[in-house]
Amino acid sequence: MKEELNPKTKSKKSKTKNFVTNSPEETFELGEKLGESLSGGEIILLSGGLGAGKTLFTKGILNALDFDIDEVTSPSFTLVNLYKTENFDVFHIDFWRLDENSDVAFAVGLDEILEDEKAVVIAEWSERLGRKSFSNPTIYVNIEGDGDDARKIKITQSEASNSN
């Protein structure tokens, strides 16, 4: 297993915001807000349990990009869905079925995906990536809560790292 080549990239700036959503609509709207802020090249890493709201949040993002959200579904079996919006190629990935000890990024062809300048990556079950870090701007979205409960949503944006 390959080790992380760059264990010393600690000095990256990042900012965290905490939200509480009290309804599915609010979770969707928070996704829309994130969608409106995208400029291309971002990696959005979603984490949180089954039914937390990862797919709903993703639908919010795509709605903000004027994409038909009926086409947005968890790619649990296909692993990757591609949604072409006006400005972006949005790759919706689901790592759920992949083994934590395998190279899950390799399994979905993440490096090739990131060569696409118009790519925006949205990944469900990003816990499976372990501690992998990216040179692209990365947005971590953790959703806590399930059932009818309110959701605590933590969004952390880290700047692109220039280290090599």
SS3 readout for the chain:
CCCCCCCCCCCCCEEEEEEEECCHHHHHHHHHHHHHCCCCCCEEEEECCCCCCHHHHHHHHHHHCCCCHHHCCCCCCCCEEEEECCCCEEEEEECCCCCCCCCHHHHCCHHHHHHCCCEEEEEECHHHHCCCCCCCCEEEEEEECCCCCCEEEEEEEECCCCCC
24 is a contact residue toward ligand ADP (CB under 6 A): yes
Stretch that binds Mg ion, among 34-42, 70-78, 126-134, 137-145 (CB under 5 A): 70-78
43 is a contact residue toward ligand ADP (CB under 6 A): no
Stretch that binds ligand ADP, among 17-25, 36-44, 83-91, 105-113 (CB under 6 A): 17-25
53 is a contact residue toward ligand ADP (CB under 6 A): yes
Q: Kindly tell me which residue out of 38, 44, 45, 56 binds ligand ADP, with binding defined by CB under 6 A.
A: 56
Based on CB atoms, which residue is closest to Mg ion, 9 or 74? 74
